[in-house]
Structure 1
Amino acid sequence: MDGTLLHDDKSVSTRTVRALAAAETAGVEVFFVTGRPARWMGVVSDHVHGHGLAICANGAAVVDLHRGGEIVRLRPLAQSDALTVVDALREAAPGVSFAVERTGGVHYEPEYPQFPLDPGGIIAPVEKLLSESAVDGDGRTVGDQPLLKLLARHPELDPDDFLTLGRTYAGAHAEFTRSSPSALLEISGPGVSKASTLAQCCAERGIGPEEVVAFGDMPNDLEMLTWAGTSYAMANAHPAVLAATTHRTESNEDDGVAVVIERLLA
């Protein structure tokens, strides 16, 4: 969504809304596939048609936008794997800080900058945030909520170098990707990605990869773009995405997704 479907101000253009509606009217299944958590999907929830499903948190959850973001599929990160990743990254990248994304919200280490859309989470060392006994400021237990993503941020490393480091030191215990321009890693359970969850959803509907058209702009889209039979990189895409795709479209600011949908339907 960000950098692909949405404009830079996080709005959905009138042209894009029309294109998505026309696609579903023509019988095309439309999935939103994003690193965002379900609670950040309000920007498109008013524009969903058909089944209204979104693959969120880089494949860790499938949510029904017609039912208030209800989770209908969950692929969590195990606590033991998350703790192993924390130990590995602390050793490999001193200065790293962490946030924990659970189904009920996100919680932060003291050094981790809070997201403007998600202030007020628990502030504590990541070991406490990952504990099953973690409680919020109101005394409610959050540690029993499934863990969707571990987020790791470094204040100095190059973003792509940080991604390589994470995969090298802890790739056996989790999936590492990134979608931010800063050194921010998004860490999911082994085998969990946009691509693998989209493949599951398509298989249940009898849709093969050769029938799928996918759009993306950042490294967390790479597996999905290479899985899909037809893939488009946005004009504003990361160099790795441009190298991995055979088709290009206009930038997100120029409604590149809508441009392709209109062409396909014509």
Structure 2
Amino acid sequence: MGVLNLGIDAGNYRAKVAGPYGVDSYRTAICDWFERNIEEDFGEDDMEFMYNGRKGFAGTLASYEDQFGGGAMYGDSKAHEDTVIRVLLAIYRYTQKYCPGFVRFNIVAGQPIVSHKPAEKKKLVDMLKNEHIITINRKECHFSIEQVGIAAEGSGAFWSAPKNGQVRIIDIGSGTVNAATIADNRHINTASDTFNYGVETTGGRDNIDGIARATIRSTTQLKWRKTDAVYVCGGITSDIIPLLAEHYTDVQPIIPQLNAHNGLQIHLPTFANAVGFYELARLTYG
């Protein structure tokens, strides 16, 4: 078989994957393996894995069984082994769901805007671009990741539904909020940033008011204007837009448009980065 292009948003709470057949998502909690007296399934994304001598559980199962809390590594960079495992699990799930048999991949993954720098990008590329052997649910998988692109989260989401002129993008994640400015299809560094707070690190959905206030305060420091066109993506998009609209007068969700084999697919804003990353992979790698 040929090489499969994928866009993978390996978030701290959920991974989102987009490719030519559709999208997929799973809970990205990871915890160390241990013998369980009672083996209970907590979700359809439960997985057991072994990679580079590391053995553990992933998915909803890990979010319940993790003995050390959280089941995720938060921070403003994704250049660590947890990201590699999340990406490989995402590839496994996508191919099992849509296209069994693919073992060669070109991918575009993401980094927060603040760590979208040459050294951090190279570190993540070097970790991902390789021949990987991972055992998932007692099945040994051989995956070859041949080309890797790293896009800025938030900015990459723009390519899921491109707009003319200048747009602002607020990408609300579990551990960070990315604020991106795109003008005539170009990322504007001086009006973009990553804020070190997110849904899971500031009290969850119960503190959505606080996240909205913090986001408004942080973006106005970037000199965003109240009348700017602001597009929002992430899992809490529908809940936070009314709160952001108390300041921004033109705020709306990003509606990702996936160029799939069976025609154009419309997806939820939570898939904006993944779809944008896939569009970049499709255009870059053919």
Q: TM-score normalised to the size of structure 1?
A: 0.31
Would you tell me which structure has more helix in proportion to its own residues?
A: 1
Greater relative contact order structure (CA < 8 Å, 6+ sep)? 2
Q: TM-score normalised to the size of structure 2?
A: 0.29
